[in-house]
Structures are given as C-alpha cells and as structure tokens.
Amino acid sequence: MSEDDLFERIQSAGQEREDAIVSLRGMLLRGLSKSLNNRYGQPFFAEDIVQEALMKILDSLDQFEGRSKFTTWAMTIANRIGISALRRKYHQDVSMEAFRDNDGSRIEIAIAEESDGSALEDREALIAKLQLLIDSELSAKQRMAMRAFLAGYSTDGIAERTQSNRNAVYKLIHDARVKLREGLERSGITADYVSTIFA
C-alpha cells in the first residue's frame, strides 16, 4: 500500500477504510514503540497513546495539506501526543523548588572549587560576573523559567506549571540566554575563555 493509497483509503468507506486504519495504527505503534520507550526514563504505553493519536488524526484529516507524506504528518501528531504524555509523567517526579518564589526566584551560583592559583581567580571572576548579570539583567519571570529549565523541566512542563504556553516560556528562556551571552561578551568573556579556565 503506497502513501497515497493509505490517505485515500482512510477517506473511503467500509472495509477499505478499516483496513487502512489498521495499517496506520500498526505503523504508529511500531514507530512510537521504537522512539518513545524509556524516553525520559518513563515506561511508554504505546497502545493507549496510539489510540488517542488515531482519533486525533482521523478527526484532522481535512487539515492534511500534502506538504509532507501522509504517514510523516500522522506520525508527527502521534509523536507530539506521546512525548507530551511522557513529559507530564516525568515532571511529576521533578522537584517543585524552582517554582517557589519566596526567594525572589533567585539563581545562586556557588560551585565547589578544586582548582588552584590563577584558574581559581578566573573562575571566581566569571561566576561573580554571571551572578551579577542574572541578578541585574534577568526579570523574575526569566529567572524562574530558567531555573525550572535547569532543574529538569521542559518548556511545556514549565508552561503547564505556570499557566502559560510553550512559546512564551521558550521566549523567556531564550531572551535570558541572549542577555547573558551579550553581557558576558561585553566583559570580554567568550566561550573559548570559559573552556580554558574550566579545562
């Protein structure tokens, strides 16, 4: 059965449609079982996810515009449903500390130092600069999103906890990253320099 066949048959009626759905279901099951099992350290119940995905795909057939193969489009939908379910389970086990704002969403850098001499001084100077940038350049929302991300939350997990959306959380973190990079570079601190002092 070709790609075109599958899409056309799913839109048909009777046994032909049923057979096409069985084919699509088998393909999604095989693909997601391979890609999502044990991702985020979570068991993956493919049957349940594929059933949910199939319903969404069948309800959305009118949105398939043929910009990719039908099976690629369908797998993209199923993959989103599967990975979102795994992330929700994963986040249940991650500490909520990052979201507590009783410390003003502070991000504190205090690393145990094992080096000596000039490297130690350089590291301390870098850490002091980074701490200053975090405290002075980032908003409270950016700090909270960043520390939740560093604590292991995905952007959609942070969005769920903060009643926001993935796009907005991504922008908070991304803008914070750019601010930190620009601030460090203004001080003459480059990625190569950091690699050198932490070598």
Partner 1 sequence: MRLDSRQFSELIKLSFTAVKSDTLGCDGCYEMMDQFAQANLDRVELSDAMRLVRTHIEQCKCCRDEYQSLLTALREVA
Terminal alpha carbon distance of the chain = 55
Rounded-to-integer distance, Cα 32 and Cα 47, Å: 10
Least distance in angstroms from the C-beta of 66 to partner 1: 10
Please give the radius of gyration of the chain, using alpha carbons only, rounded to the nearest integer. 24
Least distance in angstroms from the C-beta of 139 to partner 1: 16
Q: Report the amino acid identity of residue 24.
A: L
Least distance in angstroms from the C-beta of 34 to partner 1: 4
Could you tell me which residues come within 8 angstroms of residue 41 by beta carbon, excluding any fewer than 6 positions away? 90
| Closer residue to partner 1 in complex, CB, 7/82 | 82
Least distance in angstroms from the C-beta of 94 to partner 1: 13
Residues of the shown chain interacting with partner 1 in the complex, contacts defined by CB under 8 A: 27, 30-32, 34-36, 39, 67-69, 71-73, 75-76, 78-80, 82-83, 97-98, 103, 106-112, 130, 146-147, 150-151, 154-156, 166-167, 170-171, 173-174, 177-178, 180-181, 184, 190-191, 194, 198
| Closer residue to partner 1 in complex, CB, 20/173 | 173
Rounded-to-integer distance, Cα 195 and Cα 199, Å: 6
| Closer residue to partner 1 in complex, CB, 15/63 | 63
Token pair recorded at residue 90: 């994963």
Rounded-to-integer distance, Cα 188 and Cα 129, Å: 11
Least distance in angstroms from the C-beta of 14 to partner 1: 25
| Closer residue to partner 1 in complex, CB, 14/65 | 65
Three-state DSSP class for 139?
coil
